[in-house]
Amino acid sequence: MAKRHVYKGLAGRANFWTIAVLLGPALILFTTFVIIPVFQAAAFSLYKWNGLGPMKNFLGLANYQQFFSDLIVQKALSHNLIIAVISLAVELPLAMALALIVSNSKFKGAVFFRTFFFLPYMLSEVITGVLWQFIYHPQYGLITTLHGIFSPDSPVPTLLGDPSTVLWAILVVIIWKYFGLHMTIYIAGLQAIPQEQIEAATIDGASKTRIFLSVILPGMRTAVQLSVFFSVLGSIQLFDIIWAMGKGGPVNASETIVSYMYRVGLSRFNIGYGSTIAVCIFVICLIFSIIYQRLLVKEAE
Amino acid sequence: MKTISSENRFYNTIQYIFCGLVFLIIAVPIYISIMGGFKSVGQLRAQPVALPDPFVWSQYGDILVGQMGSFWLELLNSLLVGIGTVAVVVVVGTFAAYALARIRFKFNNVFFIYFWLGLLFPLAVAILPLYVQLRSLNLLDTHIGVILPQAAFGLPMMIMLLRGFIKQIPHELEEAAAIDGYDRFGFLFTIVVPLSTPILATVSVLTLVTSWNNFFTPLLVLNTQKKFTLPMGVMDFMGEHAADWNMILAFLTLAMIPAVVIYILCQKYIVAGLTSGAIKG
């Protein structure tokens, strides 16, 4: 029987069962599928294990030694770094410029552009990846048309099949897909800047550049911080687009650290070493988060 | 008032050219996909950009009503997994957020930090043990096996957002509810939940979109084609029709539609959810 409690404003101690019913399901779900696997990854990483049978081949830190000397790891991490840096360098200014334009309500079509530019973000990575596979297709794709216009005499490049171009081709897709997210974050940031500040600066005769640098940019700090954070963590964890556009190939030329982890763990069933890679991904994300927070705190002082 | 100077007009033109270019860069690939589905392979090779001439309806027809009936099944699977994930996140998350926001008990803060930790763990870190875990729970190749991990990884964000919101509900409302004889569950269902609808809607829509587009978890869990979600279906269809790009583009176009519909219907919530961290003092 449910007992009617007479609470003083419902505050005070609740009984154990109330709390258990409310908190229990979340705790079980979260512990089973998030916390335990993360700790298991740490445990698996010390073994050589194919995922079947008992784990008895204890290696200690040997998997970690392998991680640090693994050339494909280095290659994959360098790809992650390239993706993080280039996508930031292109997406952020592009998104900022577009946000400044389409947040101006006097700009005709602003709402349309704003809505449309966000559309690629809504499409799944797999759909985006396959669509661009077609765009890049050397026999059918848009690339053949463009190539025909600009240099009809040379053979059509196979952008996704050539180790020297594949990463750049995928970067284009990443920018295509994600700049709208950053633009939307900036629009929200812009709208939070008090209009009076901008008007006051205009009345004082400040130039547009001046207003941007001393009023708008400082006002958008939180928005920029958020978008940089999303962008870098997203780059470290990039998998779906890579998998949909060639599974990291050819010859690891578009491998990212997560696609390599997946390949090691579930294609070669080396769960032990795969878990080592997973733990290292976690540490990289953690270090980035901590450094980033520290920098922001310092900057705020 | 200022009149439109020629300088302003110049800037305006530049801005339209810029927006127009970006528009084309987004629109052309999507247009190619839609129209490519209406072309024969020969047309596709000769004219990737031009309008189909004539329109060939058989690709879309085959996928929608013909023998290649995997599309509807995969759509249904995606819907099932998406709605399941949202339901679990909303019910379980609301309960937990309410307890953490409104009930004072020992270790309340410890539990809060425990869930907060979840924000630090990317899915990728857990994916291999998750596979082993799901195998031992006999959840491999089931939709539940996709729903539960997705919900578990969506839970921290839900709890953080909702807890913050519930904390702001005035104490007077609680007192009034206490006087009217409500217990904690009564208060939760008659006052907290209705007041939290906007934030619940935001989290639901975001969870749905994330689930809808998720590829990693279904790829890990599902083996049987009958159980595939749409993103897996796209990959699978592509594997089967390697050279028939007109078929693949038709399938791709159809697979885009649900996401676009969700976007058009729920744009407000999606934007609000994604930008909630962007504005702060």
Q: Do A275 and B129 touch (CB under 8 A)?
A: yes
Q: Which B residues, 169 through 228, put their C-beta within 8 Å of a C-beta on chain A? A: 171, 174-175, 177-178, 181-185, 187, 209, 212-216, 219-220
ipTM rounded to 2 decimals: 0.90
> What CA–CA distance (Å, rounded) separates A211 from A209?
5
Work out the percent of chain B whose per-residue pLDDT is above 70. 95
Nearest to B174 among A10, A137, A223 (CB): A10
**Confidence grade of residue A5 (pLDDT, cut at 50, 70, 90):** very low
Chain B positions in Cβ-Cβ contact with residue A285 (cut-off 8 Å): 120, 122, 125
Per-residue pLDDT, averaged over A42-71, amounts to 89
Q: How far is A123 from chain B (nearest CA, A)?
A: 6
- Regions of chain B where pLDDT drops below 50: 1-2, 281
Yes or no: say if B193 and B177 are a contact pair by the CB < 8 Å rule: no
B10 vs A: CB within 8 A: no
Yes or no: say if B185 and B102 are a contact pair by the CB < 8 Å rule: no
Element containing residue B1 per DSSP (H, E): none
For chain B, the structural domain boundaries read 1-67+244-260, 72-240
What is the per-residue pLDDT across B8-50, written as a single tens digit (0 to 9) for each?
Answer: 788 889 999 999 999 999 999 999 999 999 988 888 888 878 8
Size of interface A-B (CB pairs under 8 A): 300
What is the per-residue pLDDT across A140-167, written as a single tens digit (0 to 9) for each?
Answer: 888 888 888 888 778 888 889 899 999 9
Query: Of A6-15, A144-153, A259-268, B235-244, which gets the smallest average pLDDT?
Result: A6-15
CATH 3.40.50.300 fits B72-240, yes or no: no
**pLDDT the model gives residue B3:** 53
Nearest to B213 among A34, A124, A266 (CB): A124
Q: How far apart are the first and last CA of chain A?
A: 56
Residues listed for chain B: 281
Q: How far apart are the first and last CA of chain B?
A: 33
Per 3-state DSSP, chain B is made up of helix, strand and coil in percentages (nearest 5) of 75, 0, 20
> What CA–CA distance (Å, rounded) separates A284 from A293?
14
B267 vs A: CB within 8 A: yes
Residue B2 φ/ψ region, left for φ over 0, alpha for ψ in the -120 to 50 degree band, beta for the rest: beta
How does DSSP classify residue A213?
I
Q: Is the pLDDT of residue A11 over 50?
A: no
Mutation pick from B77, B128, B279 vs chain A, by most beta carbons of A within 10 Å, is: B128
Chain centroid to Cα A192, Å, comes to 25
The phi and psi torsions of A259 (rounded to 5 degrees) equal: -65, -35
Q: Do B22 and A98 touch (CB under 8 A)?
A: yes
Q: How far is A279 from chain B (nearest CA, A)?
A: 6
Task: Please list, in sequence order, all residues whose beta carbon lies within 8 angstroms of the beta carbon of residue B182, skipping any fewer than 6 positions away.
Answer: A10, B190, B191
Q: Do A142 and B28 touch (CB under 8 A)?
A: yes
Q: Quick check: helix, strand or coil at residue A13?
A: strand
Nearest to A145 among B26, B48, B256 (CB): B48
Mutation pick from A22, A175, A266 vs chain B, by most beta carbons of B within 10 Å, is: A22
Residue A53 φ/ψ region, left for φ over 0, alpha for ψ in the -120 to 50 degree band, beta for the rest: left
Q: Which CA distances in Å does B53 have to B5, B43, B45, B208, B250?
A: 47, 8, 13, 38, 16
B32 vs A: CB within 8 A: yes
Q: Do A140 and B105 touch (CB under 8 A)?
A: no
> What CA–CA distance (Å, rounded) separates A56 from A287?
31
Residues listed for chain A: 301
What is the per-residue pLDDT across A218-247, written as a single tens digit (0 to 9) for each?
Answer: 888 888 988 898 899 999 999 999 999 989
Tokens of residue B105, six digits: 């008990």
Q: Which CA distances in Å does B153 have to A31, B93, B122, B158?
A: 10, 11, 8, 10
Return the residue matching tokens 């952008």.
A159
Residue of B nearest to A260 (CA): B124
Return the residue matching tokens 């294990």.
A49
Fold of A71-300: MetI-like fold (1.10.3720)
Residue A70 φ/ψ region, left for φ over 0, alpha for ψ in the -120 to 50 degree band, beta for the rest: beta
Instruction: Compute how many other C-beta atoms are within 10 angstroms of the C-beta atom of residue A267.
Output: 10
